[in-house]
Amino acid sequence: MTWPVAGSEYANISPPLARRVVVQQVGQLRLLAAVVEAESWYRKAVLGGNVEAAYNLGMIFRGHDDLEQAQHWFRTAAEADDPDAAARLGGIFEELGDFDMAEEWYKEAFERGNVDAANSLGILLQHRGDLDKAEEWFRAAADGGPGPRHIR
């Protein structure tokens, strides 16, 4: 977040525009405070066994590009059978270049009911040049079935 300072590009702006800049920055501070408060409550909920809270913490950290923390919280939720967290974890591994782990988590997510994970896996396999397997996963995504166990 940047603050207006004397001598900056904000120094010669009109009062109405200055008010808008201040309102925008106050809004950003309120949003940041809300995220910090939410994070605190989610952490408490995770300690109580709330899997959705772990997923939400993963989303907060993913939104701040903290992949290490996002990975931790998505893994926590995924290991508690959350298919969406497993798919997000696959996406993080793909982004980090660990395609084998990405493939594993996408498969796991699909097996648990996240149909979009099959499509993500198809795209990953297509980029890796495995077009036959990619096609199978694209078909599985289109069918929306329980998972092509023969592919594992």
Contacts of 108 (CB under 8 A, 6+ apart): 78, 83, 86, 90
- Give the pLDDT mean for 137-144: 91
State residue 30's pLDDT score: 61
Q: Which pLDDT band holds residue 151 (cuts at 50, 70, 90)?
A: very low
Is residue 5 included in any domain, yes or no?
no
Overall number of domains in the chain: 1
Residue-wise pLDDT for 31-70, tens only, equals: 566 667 778 888 888 889 989 999 999 999 999 899 999 9
In this structure, how many other beta carbons lie within 10 angstroms of the beta carbon of residue 142? 12
In terms of residues, how long is the chain? Answer: 152
Residue-wise pLDDT for 61-77, tens only, equals: 999 899 999 999 999 99
Q: Which domain holds residue 134?
A: 15-143
Cα–Cα dist 43/77, whole Å: 12
Q: How far is residue 104 from each of residues 22, 43, 72, 140, 152, measured CA to CA in Å?
A: 47, 27, 16, 16, 9
Is residue 6 included in any domain, yes or no?
no
Chain centroid to CA 41: 19
Is residue 151 included in any domain, yes or no?
no
State residue 33's pLDDT score: 63
- DSSP of 56-125, one letter per residue? HHHHHHHHTT-HHHHHHHHHHHHTTT-HHHHHHHHHHHHHHT-HHHHHHHHHHHHHTT-HHHHHHHHHHH
Cα–Cα dist 87/122, whole Å: 13
Instruction: Please state whether the predicted TM-score (pTM) of the whole model is above 0.75.
Output: no
Q: Burial level of 79, CB count in 10 A (0-12/13-18/19+)? A: middle
**CATH number (domain holding residue 134):** 1.25.40.10
Is residue 89 included in any domain, yes or no?
yes
Is residue 63 included in any domain, yes or no?
yes
Contacts of 76 (CB under 8 A, 6+ apart): 46, 51, 54, 58, 85
